[in-house]
Amino acid sequence: MRYWEACEAQVTAEEAIEECRIRQVAAAVREDDKALVDEATGEVIAHADGEGEYYGADILGYLGY
């Protein structure tokens, strides 16, 4: 997938967690608001949309792309 396509993509929690894992970031979904968070720091990586998915640009931005 090209960078711009990835930025515009909506991804599931499983896909987002896997991408983070590949980049050595342990991520999990916070139960109360479904935000994707970095387990080591507690920092929010991305917030879930109404469908429970995450905006690709948020994840790529957190990972430093």
Residue 1: its pLDDT value, please?
A: 58
Average pLDDT in the chain = 92
Residue 27 sits at φ, ψ, to 5 deg, of: -125, 155
**3 pLDDT more than 90:** no
Residue 55: its pLDDT value, please?
A: 95
**Total-model pTM:** 0.88
| Strand pairing report for 36-38 and 44-46 | antiparallel
C-alpha–C-alpha distance, residues 47 and 5, integer Å = 19
Vertex 11, ends 47 and 48: CA angle to 5°? 20
- Domain total for the chain? 1
Q: Which domain holds residue 15?
A: 3-63
Query: Phi/psi class of residue 36: alpha, beta or left (left: φ > 0; alpha: ψ in -120 to 50)?
Result: beta
